[in-house]
Amino acid sequence: MKQQLFNNGKIKIYQVSEVSEPGGMPVEGIYELFAHFNFEERKIGITRRHMAMQDNQKIDRLIRIWQDRYIEVDFICTINDGFNADAQYRIAKVDHFRNDDGLKLTDLTLERLDDFYDIE
């Protein structure tokens, strides 16, 4: 039943960490696939957009998934929605909540990356 609610596509979330050789210059890269979910696309409201602008952030997408409290800001994700399969996003904000039916959900505010990480 849960899979039917989120039918806009699939998101893969990756942890980011230092991937340089010991003693080398620090290099940030993808650590590993953290999780994957089906998602629902959400409308970005004026209040959320305004708050992001105050923090010098640009919101490109807002998506909803089943709650996962281990997801953190600055994780990287890719979205397969049939349109932008090559795009990568940085998770700029994570909001956990319960909806009116008591379901535990997470909204992810996403910022599109200009420089992509090498994901295998």
Nearest to 36 by CA among 91, 90, 77, 82: 77
Query: pLDDT digit of tens for each residue in the chain (120 aa)?
Result: 344 578 889 999 998 877 667 777 776 777 688 999 999 999 987 777 767 667 777 889 999 999 999 999 999 999 987 676 678 999 999 999 999 999 999 999 999 998 888 876
Sign of CA dihedral 80, 81, 83, 87: negative
> How many C-beta neighbours within 10 Å does residue 76 have?
23
Query: Residues 50, 83: contact at Cβ < 8 Å?
Result: no
Q: What is the pTM of this model?
A: 0.82
Q: Which domains does the chain have, with CATH numbers?
A: 2-112 (2.40.10.270)
